[in-house]
């Protein structure tokens, strides 16, 4: 568990990810190039940009997705956040964030990378930066009831086919 193990896990995820679209392939290549020049690029201390870990949390039957109304972003987004040096991998960071932000026990992380996104943001560093977000698919147990954390203005299940107009979430 270190900056090195996070970096190695991000590289492995991106190297084994085979996105179907041209834009996703370009994003994959850009993230690999970024990691090639930023050994500590999975930590928020890397001010020009850093890898973040997000979770597409789906209901047990995948009919709903759990979204948070993020206080800083002001839109409905997937759960997630910064990697910590104590995280074993980027996937572990996404799982930790999903558990903390949803309050749901017994989540199930699917192996591999679900997708990737890049967001310009002013995060906890207080300066403009980029979040290079690696997304993971996580399923909630049947009848899971989320509990909003202090990191969220609101937290709720949305039908996969009926997301709010201001949602910024990647669903495949």
Domain membership of residue 171 (yes or no) is: no
Question: How would you write the pLDDT of the chain (172 residues) with one tens digit per residue?
Answer: 689 999 999 999 999 999 988 999 999 999 999 999 999 999 999 988 999 999 999 999 999 999 999 887 788 999 999 999 999 999 999 999 999 999 999 999 999 999 999 988 887 767 888 999 999 999 999 999 999 988 888 999 999 999 999 888 888 7
Q: How many angstroms separate the Cα of 63 from the Cα of each of 43, 59, 116, 162? A: 33, 6, 22, 10
Number of structural domains the chain divides into: 1
Domain membership of residue 169 (yes or no) is: no
In degrees, rounded to 5, the angle at the alpha carbon of residue 68 between the alpha carbons of residues 78 and 154 is 175
Count Cβ atoms below 10 Å from residue 150 Cβ, excluding itself. 7
CATH number of 131's domain: 3.90.79.10
Domain membership of residue 118 (yes or no) is: yes
Domain membership of residue 123 (yes or no) is: yes
Domain membership of residue 20 (yes or no) is: yes
In which domain, by residue range, is 69 found? 3-162
Tens of pLDDT, residue by residue over 63-72, are 999 999 988 7
Tens of pLDDT, residue by residue over 85-121, are 999 999 999 999 999 999 999 999 999 999 999 988 8
> How far apart (Å, rounded) are the C-alpha atoms in residues 26 and 150?
35
Domain membership of residue 152 (yes or no) is: yes
Domain membership of residue 108 (yes or no) is: yes
Domain membership of residue 55 (yes or no) is: yes
pTM for the complete prediction? 0.94
């Amino acid at each position: 568990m270190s900056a090195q193990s996070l970096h190695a896990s991000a590289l492995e995820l991106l190297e084994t990810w085979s996105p179907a679209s041209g834009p996703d392939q370009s994003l994959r290549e850009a993230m690999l190039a970024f990691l090639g020049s930023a050994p500590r690029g999975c930590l928020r201390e890397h001010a020009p940009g850093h890898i973040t870990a997000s979770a597409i949390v789906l209901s047990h039957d995948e009919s709903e997705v759990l979204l948070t109304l993020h206080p800083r972003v002001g839109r409905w987004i997937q759960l997630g956040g910064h990697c910590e040096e104590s995280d074993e991998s980027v996937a572990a960071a996404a799982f930790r964030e999903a558990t903390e932000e949803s309050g749901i026990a017994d989540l199930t992380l699917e192996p591999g990378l679900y997708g990737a996104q890049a967001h310009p943001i002013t995060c906890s560093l207080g300066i403009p930066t980029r979040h290079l977000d690696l997304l993971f698919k996580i399923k909630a147990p049947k009848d899971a009831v989320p509990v909003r954390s202090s990191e969220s203005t609101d937290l709720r299940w949305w039908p996969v086919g009926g997301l709010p107009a201001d949602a910024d979430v990647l669903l495949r």
